[in-house]
Chain A
Amino acid sequence: MVEAIAMAHGWEMQHDANVVVIGQDVGANGGVFRATAGLQERFGKDRVQDTPLAEATIAGMSVGMATHGLKPVAEIQFMGFLYPALDQIVNHMSRMRNRTRGRLSCPVVIRTPHGGGIHAPEHHSESTETMLCHIPGIRVVCPSSPVRAYGLLLAAIRDPDPVMFLEPVRLYRAMRQEVNDDGQALPLDVCFILREGCDVTIVTWGAMTMETLRAVTELDKRGISAEVIDLATLSPIDIETILASVAKTGRLVIVHEAARNVGVGAEIAALVAEHGLYDLLAPVQRVAGFDTIMPLFKLEHDYIPSVQRIIDAVEHTFAG
C-alpha cells in the first residue's frame, strides 16, 4: 500500500503545482515508511520539505500555507505524535472556513500511520480516530487497500477542506495490489461494499478489513452470508449505505481496532438505533479494542480483535 500512497503524491504534485509535501524525514529519507520516497528528487526541496521536529509546527504552518495558496500534504510520523498538532487542527484548521465566513480555508491533508500489529515501539501503534471524528469541520479517512489508498488520497488532496488521512500500518507492506496510476480519485463521504451478503452486515475499516474478510470466509462455511462494508470515510459517516444494508440483512456487527469506549462504532450503532431500529432482528454487536492502553507488542495481538472474536460476535446475532 505504501507504494500506492507515494504514487498518489507523485501524480498530484505533477498535475498541481501548489501541492507541497512537508513532514519529518519525508525528504531524502522518503518518510520512515517510504510513503514519500523519491518525491524530493523529483520535485525539489521547496515542494518536499523536511520540517523541524515539531508537530505543532507542521500543523500550524499548514494552516498558514493553505490559507495562502498552497495545498500542504503533511506527514505526522506516527499517530501517537499527532497530539502537539491538535491545538492547530481543532482551533484553526477545522474552523478557518467557518469563522471567516468562507473568506479563508484550509485545503490540508494530514497523513499519519494508524494502528498496530507490526511490533513497533511504545506510542507507535495508536488508533485514536475517535478523537479526530469528534472535531467538526474536518474529514477523517482511512483506506483499506492500495487501490483505495491511491484514490482516496487523491480525493483528499483535491478536497477544499482539511482531511485527516489515517494509513493502517499493517497494510503498508502486507497488502499488494495492482494500482493504475491514472489520477482517478475515489469519492469521499461514502462507504464501499467489499462483499455482498444477506444475513448480517459487518461494518469495519482500515486494517480490520483483513480479519473481517477472513471471518467472513469461515462464516460462509457455516452457512452465514455476511455483507462487508468498508466505512472508508470515518467522519462524516455515510449512514445511508449502512442503513440500506441493515434493512436487507437485519443484523449489524461493527469491527474496529480502536478502543470500544466512545468509538466510531458507538456512533454507527446510535445512528442505526435512531434510523433503523425496526429493521434489526438482533442487538447490534461491537467487536473492538479493549478500553485499555494499546499494550507493547508482546500483547498487541491480544488487543487487536481476532478473527474468532468477529465470528463469535456474528454468531451471537443469530443466538436466541
Chain B
Amino acid sequence: MAPLPQFAADTALVLRMYRAMTLVRVFDAKAVNLQRTGQLGTYPSSLGHEAAHVGVGAAMRPEDVLAPVYREFGTQLWRGVTMTEILTYWGGDERGSDFAVPRQDFAWCVPIATQTLHAAGAAMAFKVLKQPRCALAYIGDGGTSEGAFYEALNLAGARDLPVVFVIINNGWAISVPVAAQTAAQTLAQKAVAAGIPGVQVDGNDVFAVREVVGEALEAARRGAGPSLIEALTYRLSDHTTADDASRYRSGQEVKDAWALEPLIRIRDFLINAGLWDGAKEQALLDECTLKVDAAVTEYLGKAKPSSDAMFEHLFAALPARLHEQRLIARKYASKPSGH
C-alpha cells in the first residue's frame, strides 16, 4: 500500500470530500425516485462512482474545464453545478445546461466519446492563448471503443496539450462487459500508442483518485503534456432508469461490488481518525436530505418553457425566415403543464 498523500492530513478537505460523496449519493437516490414516479426523465445513476467523481472534482481547479459524459454528478456538484440544474436537464429542459457556475464547463455529452475531442480543443485554446489552465474529459470503458477517443489521445499527444482523459471503467457499457470491448488487458495502456502516460487508479479510493488526477493536471499545467487515467470502479445501478441490468449480469457480481463501494472506505478512515461517529453521520444525512429536497422543490416549481425556447438560442439572432415558424409554434403550443 502506498502511503497516504499529503492532503490526507487536511481534515477539512477530507471531510468536504466525504460530505460531497454523501450528498451525491442522497441526491442520486432521490433522482431515481423522481423518475420512478414520473417526475423526471430517464436518469443515469452515479451510484458507486462517488469516489472517482468527487476525487476528480477535488483535483481540478475552478478555472480548468470539464468535459463530462452524463453521469459524473459528483464532479459537477463539486465545481458548482446545482442539483436543480441537473434535475432540470434530466427533466427535459435545456435550461439545466445553462450552468450559473462553472460558466466555461461543457454540458452533458450524450453522443459517446465526442467530448474527448472538445477537451483536446479547449486545451489547444489554452495553449495558444497561453493560459495556465487544463481541460479534463471523462469517458466510459465502452466509450474507449469509439474512433473519436483515439483521435483525441493522438491529437493530445502529438500537440502536447494540457488535457487529462479520465476513463471511468465501471465494468459495463449498458449490457456489454469490458472484455467484449477490447482485448487490451487494461484501458490505461491505450495511452501507449498515443505516446502519452497512462495509469490505473483505484476509482473507489477518493484519496488515490484525487492524488493521481491532481498530479496529471499539474503536469499538464506546467507544460509536461497530457495523460490518460483509468479509474477502476463499478456501476452498482442499472445503466439508466430505462435499463434492467438483471437481464445481463448476475446479482452475485453486484453484491460483491457493494462490499467495495467507495463510501465505506473513507467513512472508516474518518472514524479511525476520530473525526466521525454515528451522530455526525445522521446529522449529515439529514442535512443532505434537506438540501436535496430544496432542490427538488425548486425544480418542480419551474414552469414549462414556452415554445419560443426552441427558437431563442438557435442562433445569436433569429434569421427572418424563422420568425413565421416561431409564430406557428406559439399558435399550436400545448398547454403549459407541470410534471
Interface residues of A (CB under 8 A from B): 24-25, 27-30, 32, 50, 52-57, 80-81, 83-84, 119-124, 260, 290-293, 295-303, 306, 308-309
The residue that A53 contacts in the complex, of B108, B112, B304, B322, with Cβ under 8 A, is B112
List of A residues within 8 angstroms of B145 by Cβ:
52-54, 57
User: Could you tell me which residues of chain B, from 43 to 100, have a CB within 8 Å of some CB in chain A?
Assistant: 70, 89-94
The residue that B180 contacts in the complex, of A50, A293, A302, with Cβ under 8 A, is A50
List of A residues within 8 angstroms of B42 by Cβ:
119-121
For the complex, what is the distance from the CA of A32 to the CA of B92, rounded to whole Å?
20
Whether the Cβ atoms of A121 and B176 lie closer than 8 Å is: no
List of A residues within 8 angstroms of B175 by Cβ:
25, 27-29, 50
In the assembled complex, B111 has its CB within 8 A of some CB on chain A: yes
The residue that B307 contacts in the complex, of A52, A119, A122, A299, with Cβ under 8 A, is A299
Q: Given A29-B248, A120-B41, A121-B110, are A53 and B92 neighbors across the interface (CB < 8 Å)?
A: no
Tell me the minimal C-beta distance from B266 to chain A in angstroms: 31
The residue that A293 contacts in the complex, of B176, B310, B328, with Cβ under 8 A, is B310
Which 6 residue pairs of A and B lie closest in terms of their CB atoms, listed nearest first?
A297-B92, A29-B175, A52-B145, A53-B142, A298-B92, A28-B248
Q: Which residue of B is nearest A28, CB measured?
A: B248
Tell me the minimal C-beta distance from B68 to chain A in angstroms: 13
For the complex, what is the distance from the CA of A24 to the CA of B181, rounded to whole Å?
10
Whether the Cβ atoms of B111 and A81 lie closer than 8 Å is: yes
The residue that B92 contacts in the complex, of A56, A119, A123, A292, with Cβ under 8 A, is A119
Q: Given A291-B325, A309-B332, are A53 and B94 neighbors across the interface (CB < 8 Å)?
A: no
For the complex, what is the distance from the CA of A50 to the CA of B89, rounded to whole Å?
30
User: Could you tell me which residues of chain B, from 123 to 159, have a CB within 8 Å of some CB in chain A?
Assistant: 142-143, 145-148
Interface residues of B (CB under 8 A from A): 41-42, 70, 89-94, 108, 110-112, 142-143, 145-148, 173-176, 180-182, 242-243, 247-248, 304-305, 307, 309-311, 314, 321-322, 325, 328-329, 332-334
Q: Which residue of B is nearest A306, CB measured?
A: B332
Q: Given A32-B242, A53-B146, are A299 and B305 neighbors across the interface (CB < 8 Å)?
A: yes
List of B residues within 8 angstroms of A295 by Cβ:
94, 309-310
Whether the Cβ atoms of B314 and A54 lie closer than 8 Å is: no
Interface of A is mostly: loop
List of B residues within 8 angstroms of A52 by Cβ:
142, 145, 176, 180-182
Q: Which residue of A is nearest B44, CB measured?
A: A121
List 5 additional A-B contacts (Cβ < 8 Å) besides A55-B146, A297-B92.
A52-B142, A53-B143, A290-B310, A293-B314, A299-B307
Q: Which residue of B is nearest A296, CB measured?
A: B92
Whether the Cβ atoms of A25 and B176 lie closer than 8 Å is: yes
List of A residues within 8 angstroms of B321 by Cβ:
291
The residue that A24 contacts in the complex, of B94, B111, B176, B314, with Cβ under 8 A, is B176
Whether the Cβ atoms of B309 and A299 lie closer than 8 Å is: yes
Q: Which residue of B is nearest A298, CB measured?
A: B92
Tell me the minimal C-beta distance from A164 to chain B in angstroms: 19
Q: Given A50-B180, A53-B146, are A298 and B93 neighbors across the interface (CB < 8 Å)?
A: yes
Q: Given A52-B145, A57-B145, A296-B92, are A302 and B174 neighbors across the interface (CB < 8 Å)?
A: no
Q: Which residue of B is nearest A83, CB measured?
A: B111
